[in-house]
Chains A and B, each alone.
Chain A
């Protein structure tokens, strides 16, 4: 399948650099605003849980972080596949720029989960299905980062990483369900798309606000990372020289 020429035009490093430079401030401001609103509502407005008291409030960080950990892996694999199939350089960059952010969110989800687990389950770590699959997801991220780090040629590193990410995507549901089947202690999911959520609206609003906030943070930081990498890779081209000298964009 051939992509229209306009895709290639917009995905050229130079255009990507210019466009992302215009987008980043929006994402950053949006992130800041939604973060303040989400945290305020989550910590001060939402009522305490009838069972878990105040300690459930860590959910407003934990759940969006866990969502992001899976979302970013999908983005990483998709852009890796795009880079592999249509040989679009910026898609490769997005994949490798996403990996550390995704790993960080996975780590955050694990840490907040274990801090939440201490008052709820009485222990920091439980070999529960979702904790375990989150840990395995962290291993998959670290494997991806380690593979890309050990291949010197950036083009080959991107392609090898893409193959690994795609293999990972095929495996994630299998790993998830096999771990789920293996054991579960975790409370059931309370927000689903197809069903009426079992979470109260006053808790749902800050939760979704925080989810939007984390997405915007990811968008801003992945673009920043990709831009820095573009400058490094294209350092010998004329437009980079102009950009660095004028420092206008």
Chain B
């Protein structure tokens, strides 16, 4: 990375964070969604403790997955509409790095709050303390993967009317490995088993998606912006 690309990278992170801060009421929406979806399960299924505890890892993770997916809309949409995105792609800096900067700031304002909210939901679902810690660790490794993969889908559906439904069709199947390993890790920690294996897998998924997803997103943006 040349110094000028580096400064462009951090300037973009700062700019996106600033923009999200200016629209901070919008930031609450995915969090509220996350909270409400999980609250529906005790109401819809049963408030019984053992049942909720068994379902907790899956339910919380599915809700997190949906919340991240719904928040993706803010990733490129505004910049696409007012032409900023086009200017970014015309700049001499590699688009994939700029995309990564946008994804990082997006994760900081959506993924990170979800992790911080997770203990509350864990308490709602009667998760014991060690389960909550594992849940937060899996979210820490998993939510960036969700943002990275989601960015590809978002970039592909950018210029389309009613891209939202389509986005979920494209992105949700790709989220399955993250869901499997994360929910399984929380399950295993509830049973008192080691979760290192699942964590390694999640870490591997994170490394893989952080290297490849920005490239695919840049390619997809190039198609959508044209």
Contact = CB atoms under 8 A, between A and B. Distances in A.
Interface of A: 84, 136, 139-140, 142-143, 146-147, 150-151, 156, 159-160, 163-164, 166-168, 170-171, 174-175, 178-179, 181-182
B150 to A, nearest CB: 12
A244 B169 CA distance: 39
30 contacts: A139-B169, A139-B173, A142-B169, A143-B170, A143-B173, A146-B170, A147-B170, A150-B160, A150-B166, A151-B160, A156-B224, A159-B223, A160-B156, A160-B220, A160-B223, A160-B224, A163-B152, A163-B219, A164-B152, A164-B170, A167-B152, A167-B174, A174-B205, A174-B208, A175-B173, A175-B176, A178-B176, A178-B181, A179-B176, A182-B184
A136 B180 CA distance: 13
B82 interface: no
B105 to A, nearest CB: 23
A132 to B, nearest CB: 9
Given A147-B170, A160-B224, A175 B156 contact: no
A178 B183 CA distance: 12
Interface string B184-206: 10000000000000000100010
B216 interface: yes
Contacts of B216: 163, 166-167
Given A150-B162, A170-B212, 4 more contacts: A84-B219, A139-B173, A147-B157, A179-B180
Contacts of B170: 143, 146-147, 164
A183 to B, nearest CB: 10
Given A147-B156, A163-B156, A178-B181, A171 B226 contact: no
Contact of A146 (B166, B172, B201, B220): B166
Contacts of A143: 166, 169-170, 173
B113 interface: no
A176 to B, nearest CB: 9
A168 B169 CA distance: 13
Contacts of B226: 156
Interface of B: 152, 156-157, 160, 162-163, 166, 169-170, 172-174, 176-177, 180-181, 184, 201, 205, 208, 212, 216, 219-220, 223-224, 226
Contacts of B162: 150
At the interface, is chain A mostly helix, strand, loop or mixed? helix
Contact of B156 (A136, A140, A164, A170): A164
Contacts of B172: 139
Nearest to A168: B174
B223 A174 contact: no
Contacts of B176: 136, 175, 178-179
Closest 5 CB pairs of A and B: A178-B177, A139-B173, A143-B170, A143-B169, A159-B223
B142 to A, nearest CB: 13
B221 to A, nearest CB: 10
B223 A178 contact: no
A174 B177 contact: yes
A151 B162 CA distance: 11
Contacts of B224: 156, 160
Contact of B223 (A163, A168, A182): A163
Nearest to B179: A178
B169 A171 contact: no
Contacts of B201: 178
Contacts of A150: 157, 160, 162-163, 166
In this complex, the member of A140, A146, A178 whose beta carbon has the largest number of chain B beta carbons within 10 angstroms is A178
Nearest to A135: B173
A161 to B, nearest CB: 9
Contacts of A174: 177, 205, 208
